[in-house]
Amino acid sequence: MNIGIPKEVKDNEYRVSVTPYGVFELNKLGNKVFVQKNAGIGSGFTDKMYVKSGACIVETAQEVFEKSELIVKVKEPQPSEIKMINEKHIVFTFFHFAADIHMTKQILKTGSTSIAYETVQNPDGSLPILVPMSEVAGRMSIQNGAKCLEGSMGGMGKLLSGVPGVESATVSIIGGGVVGSNAAKLAAGLGAKVNILDVDMDRLRYLDDIMPQNVQTLYSNNHNISSVLHETDLLIGAVLVVGSKAPNLISRNMLSNMKYGSVIVDVAVDQGGCVETCKPTTHKNPTYIVDDVVHYCVSNMPGSVSHTSTIALTNITLEYIKQISTQGCLSAFKLNNSLKLGLNTYKGQVTHSGVAESFNLNFTHPDSI
């Protein structure tokens, strides 16, 4: 199969979807891999490294799309890329359809096959491709949130760890999954007081067992969320509903409960966000202020630590790419149900129930295609 690796064009997105090692592995299986010039440079991989691994370097994204059947990306296709997608293409990337009705409709018009990283799901309910990026995003939420607390960023000027004689900051995390637990680990390690809220009592019991003493677990409901907001310096939104829009748990009215110069980092922003006042921002312009609260809502946080993120991501995605490229997507779906759950659109049809429900669109079950 001809596989295309375009250079990412989203603002300050430096990851690449396949490493030189991945190209070598795909070539061994008889595939031909077209890599756009400088696609990997932001992650530390030069064109020479790709050529040595057997890739064909092409100048433009247009050439990548024209020559390839399977397009492998990191982030959702941008408008300039959607224009190049057609019915012959299988596109394998993060899509987050449920947060963007316009993109959903544009992709449906292309007639392409869309396999979304974020909905590939194992029998135990885990999300193997989303996990490594959630680990990165969870840790970065604390790193970036701590920076935003500085006065130069509009924050209250509070050091997350405190110092002897001065109290540490309070970090509250809505959601105790992979993002939330990684955020809690880092915040607790820096000496902050940490609250984690979740609706899964089994998960809260697990977190209570493994987290240090400065982490408190709370059942997530409106009362408890409102209560912790009064003391919170840094709020992390870490809510995920697979394939669907994130629920809105923090209304604008609730911001009045927060301190002047406190910070919100909504990691769920790429799925619509769990804070009413959050809207996607970029690494170039990452923050804005609403009601005296700093909002950091960058939708591709892991893109700024591209070397780490690329390797973490491709450690998982490469095996799926191998399956699609050697068996074709329909045969691969029959052999791998986890991969089939990643199918979001097929020939103009919505094939993921969460996406269909988000926009009241007709749903076609993947088993019927």
pLDDT tens readout for residues 287-318: 999 999 999 999 999 999 999 999 999 999 99
Regions of the chain with pLDDT less than 50: none
- Residue 189: CB partners within 8 Å, gap ≥ 6? 212
Note if 11 is an active site residue: no
Instruction: Fold for 134-299, please state it.
Output: Rossmann fold (3.40.50)
- Stretch(es) of the chain classified as CATH 3.40.50.720: 2-126+306-368, 134-299
Predicted confidence at residue 240, as pLDDT, reads: 84
- CB burial of residue 163 (10 Å; 0-12, 13-18, 19+): exposed
Distance CA 61, CA 166 (A): 53
Q: Which of 96, 100, 198, 266 is catalytic?
A: 96
- CATH tag, 2-126+306-368: 3.40.50.720
Strands 90-93, 70-72: pairing kind: parallel
Cα–Cα distances in Å, from 6 out to 35, 57, 93, 317? 6, 10, 12, 16
Distance CA 338, CA 335 (A): 9
Distance CA 229, CA 37 (A): 48
Distance CA 265, CA 131 (A): 19
Note if 96 is an active site residue: yes
Q: Which of 266, 270, 295, 352 is catalytic?
A: 270
Strand partners, 34: 4, 56
Long-range contacts of 121-125 (CB under 8 A, 24+ apart): 121/242, 121/338, 121/341, 121/342, 122/338, 123/337, 123/338
Mean pLDDT of the chain: 96
Q: Which two tokens stand for residue 324?
A: 């699609």
Predicted confidence at residue 271, as pLDDT, reads: 86
3-state class percentages of the chain: helix first, strand second, coil last, to nearest 5:
40, 20, 40
pLDDT digits (tens, 9 = 90+) for 224-266: 999 999 999 999 999 988 777 888 999 999 999 999 999 999 9
Predicted confidence at residue 242, as pLDDT, reads: 79
Q: What is the pTM of this model?
A: 0.89
- CB burial of residue 30 (10 Å; 0-12, 13-18, 19+): exposed
Q: Which two tokens stand for residue 337?
A: 């149900």
